[in-house]
Amino acid sequence: MPDGPGLELIRGEIEQDHPGAVLDTSFDREQAALVVDPAQIIAVLRWLRDAPGQGYGFLSSLHAADYLPAEPRFGIHYELLNRDRIERVRVKAMLANPAEGLPEIDSCVELFPTAEFQEREVYDFFGIVFRGHPDMTRILLPDDYVGWPQRRDFPIGGEPVTFTYNERNYG
Amino acid sequence: MAELATAGGNLDTEVMTINIGPHHPATHGVLRLVVDLEGEIVRDLRPVIGYVHTGIEKSCEDKSYWKVIPFVERMDYVSYFFQMEAFCGAVERLVGLEIPPRAKYLRMIFLELNRIHSHLVWLGTTALDLGAVSMLWYCFRERDRILDLFEMATGQRMHTRYFQVGGVIEDIPRGFEAKLRQFVADMPVRVGQYQDLLDRNEVFLSRTKNTGIVSRERLLELGVTGPLLRAAGEPWDLRKAFDYLAYPEMDFKVPVGTVGDNYDRYRVRVAEMIESVRIIEQALDGLPEGPFIADDRKYVLPPRSELSTSMESLIHHFKLVTEGYRVEAGEVYYAIESPRGELGCFVLADGSAKPARVHIRDASFVNLQAFKDMSVDSYVADMICSLGMLDPILGGVDR
């Protein structure tokens, strides 16, 4: 884990190469996080992976969270890991829900092939489109499913159970 | 595998797409494979998953923190202690709760027992796929002893709900230690017997050696962790890398392979069982006295005996059971080494008594992406072997 000052150093170095890319940093509960401009997410991830002295070459996990009612409401989390120094850093990109259509962000499959399934999962549950993903389809839910169930405004329950008995009588 | 990449060119074959699963005994669960075959050689492969998706992560958002534990246990139904540890550990880091040393040791004992249990299920079913039917009975015989131990300490054979935020729910009962010591003494002998049955078994060797090889660089790109990565020669184990529970105090080795074929995967897992036995032994020897759960009434239920004498305890108990405890806003990612690799739990707290998001980074889900690399340009029979050695648990994949 880079500590608080270390995180600010990383921020400063990113700012030199990509001005305006880092919007905020946080060091909370011993975990370091960079909040990044979604338009520059790939540049920052590539920098953290390839820049000399960084080497965050392993993407442990990619997941999303819905921060409703905060705005922008969606957060994409990239849990990066440097396996030599054994340091984790979290990169967050916050996305607003557009008035029309779905929120979009660039896919990082080219950088980290492990993200393929995980980006599909985020798409499946949050309706966040990853531009440039080779196969942006639902992964766990059926292809004809309507809605984005992990969003906070999607109700729990109320999902009809399709037993043939129900279909015959109520379908 | 290299010679198979071009084989078939002089034969009159065309690519045929076939469907394996979702209900097929060799898929170890509800996994569907859409496979392009040229003769007997796999040319392309697509895993289709989601058949046992039950929306656990969504359900967790509607439960107070302590009620989430039984939910996460049911994701990867073979390594339930690990799911509990990932979630409880994440919440403990969110609220800043330190667990007592005895709880750390007890957790470690049960985690390592669970690791042996998980590897036994894997060994039995995978050897069964490869024709070694007797392995299933031998492995499940030892597995049953582990389940008996779980039942003795927790009351349940599976999905025990034993770990709590702050420690474990109960101390181990009288007689448990003797029974566990007996098991620990027997297990290395049993593992030796498994090796005698398989290590010189001509069929097993020819099925596993030099099949399903993926380079370690590719595995790292694909985010593969656990025994699969270690079999390719990368000594990466979160128990060694990160400081959690009392693993830094334990003396154990991280087995690694050299080639990264299915045989190495088998060897690594079998060697891990022995290392787990060593950890249990050391944890039993060094088991500290003292409380088994933290003494913070804000998060931990008061002892039953106090309820009839102390008004304050009764209030704490009532608050914890009805509303649960509130967790200050924040987010934590906590990763541990499960039998299948990095098991991470992300918990987002919004200040209420229910988590705003629980996400499990399941190792099977990520590792499954390597299956295509393991199987393309190999025989369909080797694909079945590779799938067994990949050891995905579909409950964890689909959640």
pLDDT digits (tens, 9 = 90+) for A93-152: 999 888 888 999 999 999 999 999 999 999 999 999 999 999 899 999 988 888 898 988
The CATH label, of 3.40.1190.20, 1.10.645.10, 3.30.930.10, 1.10.1380.10, for the domain at B56-370+389-398 is: 1.10.645.10
Of the candidates B159, B72, B130, B102, the residue with the CA atom closest to the CA atom of residue B295: B102
Which residues, 6 or more positions from B20, have their beta carbon under 8 angstroms from its beta carbon? B26, B27, B32, B33, B34, B35
Backbone angles phi, psi at B104, to 5 degrees: -60, -45
Do residues B87 and B185 make contact, with C-beta atoms less than 8 angstroms apart? no
Q: CA-CA distance, B287 to B104, in Å (whole number)?
A: 9
Q: CA-CA distance, B298 to B44, in Å (whole number)?
A: 55
pLDDT tens sequence across A4-18: 777 888 888 888 888
pLDDT tens sequence across A103-112: 999 999 999 9
Residue contact B356–A139, C-beta within 8 A: no
Q: Looking at the complex, report in whole angstroms how far the Cα of residue A27 sits from the nearest Cα belonging to chain B.
A: 11
pLDDT higher than threshold 90 for residue B147: yes
pLDDT tens sequence across B5-60: 665 555 567 888 999 878 877 777 788 999 998 888 899 999 999 888 988 999 89
Nearest Cβ partner of A77 from B93, B241, B346? Answer: B346
Q: Looking at the complex, report in whole angstroms how far the Cα of residue A14 sits from the nearest Cα belonging to chain B.
A: 23
With beta carbons under 8 A apart, name residues in chain B contacting A79: 333, 344, 346, 361
> How large a percentage of chain A has pLDDT more than 90?
35
What integer pLDDT is reported at residue A97 of this predicted model?
A: 87
Domain boundaries, chain B: 56-370+389-398
Nearest Cβ partner of B333 from A31, A58, A86? Answer: A31
Q: CA-CA distance, B237 to B219, in Å (whole number)?
A: 15
pLDDT higher than threshold 70 for residue A1: no
Which residues, 6 or more positions from A86, have their beta carbon under 8 angstroms from its beta carbon? B241, B242
With beta carbons under 8 A apart, name residues in chain B contacting A116: 369
Complex ipTM, two decimals?
A: 0.87
Chain-centroid distance, C-alpha B141: 20
If you search the block for the tokens 């957790």, which residue do you land on?
Answer: B107
Nearest Cβ partner of A149 from B55, B333, B348? Answer: B55
Residue contact B356–A90, C-beta within 8 A: no
Lowest mean pLDDT among A37-41, A156-160, B71-75, B93-97: A156-160
State the pLDDT confidence band at A19, using cuts at 50, 70 and 90. confident
Q: CA-CA distance, A165 to A101, in Å (whole number)?
A: 36
What integer pLDDT is reported at residue A162 of this predicted model?
A: 66
pLDDT higher than threshold 90 for residue B88: yes
pLDDT higher than threshold 90 for residue B324: no
Q: CA-CA distance, B214 to B261, in Å (whole number)?
A: 7
State the pLDDT confidence band at A92, using cuts at 50, 70 and 90. very high
Count of CB atoms within 10 A of residue A41's CB?
21
Annotation: CATH topology of A4-170: Beta Polymerase; domain 2 (3.30.460)
Residue contact A114–B366, C-beta within 8 A: yes
Of the candidates A4, A134, A112, the residue with the CA atom closest to the CA atom of residue A60: A112
> How large a percentage of chain B has pLDDT more than 70?
97
With beta carbons under 8 A apart, name residues in chain A contacting B59: 156
Domain boundaries, chain A: 4-170
Order of strands, edge to edge, in the sheet holding B355-361? Answer: B330-338, B341-349, B355-361
With beta carbons under 8 A apart, name residues in chain B contacting A112: 221, 223
Residues of chain A numbered 97-156 and touching chain B (CB < 8 Å): 112-118, 121, 125, 138-142, 149-150, 152, 154, 156
Do residues A111 and A26 make contact, with C-beta atoms less than 8 angstroms apart? no
Q: CA-CA distance, A100 to A123, in Å (whole number)?
A: 16
Count of CB atoms within 10 A of residue A67's CB?
18
pLDDT tens sequence across B339-393: 999 999 999 999 899 999 999 999 999 999 999 999 988 898 899 899 989 888 9
Q: Which amino acid is at B191?
A: V
Residue contact B53–A60, C-beta within 8 A: no
Do residues B377 and B203 make contact, with C-beta atoms less than 8 angstroms apart? no
What integer pLDDT is reported at residue B201 of this predicted model?
A: 87
Residue contact A79–B344, C-beta within 8 A: yes
Q: CA-CA distance, B392 to B399, in Å (whole number)?
A: 12
- The whole-number average pLDDT for the span B283-299 is 90
With beta carbons under 8 A apart, name residues in chain B contacting A61: 333, 335, 342, 344, 346, 359, 361
Count of CB atoms within 10 A of residue B111's CB?
26
Do residues B126 and B389 make contact, with C-beta atoms less than 8 angstroms apart? yes
What integer pLDDT is reported at residue B368 of this predicted model?
A: 92
Q: CA-CA distance, B42 to B24, in Å (whole number)?
A: 18
Two tokens at B308? 């009839």
pLDDT tens sequence across A33-87: 889 989 889 999 998 888 888 889 899 999 999 998 888 899 999 999 998 888 8
What integer pLDDT is reported at residue B2 of this predicted model?
A: 56
Using CA atoms of B126, B129, B132, B133 in order, give the dihedral in degrees to the nearest 10. 100
Residue contact A66–B357, C-beta within 8 A: yes
What integer pLDDT is reported at residue B254 of this predicted model?
A: 92
Residue contact B332–A152, C-beta within 8 A: no
pLDDT higher than threshold 70 for residue B1: no
For residues A163 and B19, which has the higher predicted lDDT (pLDDT)? B19
Q: Enumerate chain B positions whose Cβ falls within 8 A of a Cβ in A.
A: 49-50, 53, 55, 57-59, 61-62, 93-94, 96, 220-224, 236, 241-242, 330-333, 335, 342, 344, 346, 348, 356-357, 359, 361, 365-366, 368-369, 398-399
Residue contact B58–A156, C-beta within 8 A: yes
- The whole-number average pLDDT for the span B176-205 is 91
Q: Could you give the C-alpha distances from B375 to B42, B46, B228, B273, in angstroms and in order?
A: 7, 11, 14, 27
What integer pLDDT is reported at residue B90 of this predicted model?
A: 93
- The whole-number average pLDDT for the span B139-159 is 92
Which residues, 6 or more positions from A99, have their beta carbon under 8 angstroms from its beta carbon? none
- The whole-number average pLDDT for the span B190-212 is 90
What integer pLDDT is reported at residue B10 of this predicted model?
A: 55
Instruction: Output Rg (C-alpha) for chain B, integer angstroms.
Output: 22
SS3 A138: coil
What integer pLDDT is reported at residue B121 of this predicted model?
A: 93
Nearest Cβ partner of A114 from B223, B333, B399? Answer: B223
Q: Which of B54, B58, B216 to mutate to test the interface with A (most CBs of A within 10 A)?
A: B58
Residue contact A60–B62, C-beta within 8 A: no
Do residues B219 and B231 make contact, with C-beta atoms less than 8 angstroms apart? no
Nearest Cβ partner of B333 from A67, A79, A121? Answer: A79
Q: At what angle do helices B176-199 and B262-285 cross, to 10 degrees?
A: 160
pTM for this predicted structure: 0.91
What integer pLDDT is reported at residue B12 of this predicted model?
A: 62
Q: CA-CA distance, B312 to B321, in Å (whole number)?
A: 14
HEC assignment per residue over chain B: CHHHHCCCCCCCCCEEEEEECCEEHHHCEECEEEEEEECCEEEEEEEECCCCCCCHHHHHCCCCHHHHHHHHHCCCCCCHHHHHHHHHHHHHHHHCCCCCHHHHHHHHHHHHHHHHHHHHHHHHHHHHHCCCHHHHHHHHHHHHHHHHHHHHHHCCCCCCCCEECCEECCCCCCCHHHHHHHHHHHHHHHHHHHHHHHHCCHHHHHHHCCCCCCCHHHHHHCCCCCHHHHHCCCCCCHHHHCCCCCHHHCCCCCCCCCCCCHHHHHHHHHHHHHHHHHHHHHHHHCCCCCCCECCCCCCCCCCHHHHHCCHHHHHHHHHHHHCCCCCCCEEEEEEEEECCEEEEEEEEECCCCCEEEEEEECHHHHHHHHHHHHHCCCEHHHHHHHHHHHCCCHHHHHC
Of the candidates B205, B200, B233, the residue with the CA atom closest to the CA atom of residue B217: B233
Two tokens at B133? 């039917």
Do residues B237 and B253 make contact, with C-beta atoms less than 8 angstroms apart? no
- The whole-number average pLDDT for the span B114-123 is 94
A-B contacts at Cβ under 8 angstroms: 98
pLDDT tens sequence across B224-255: 999 999 999 889 999 988 888 889 999 999 99
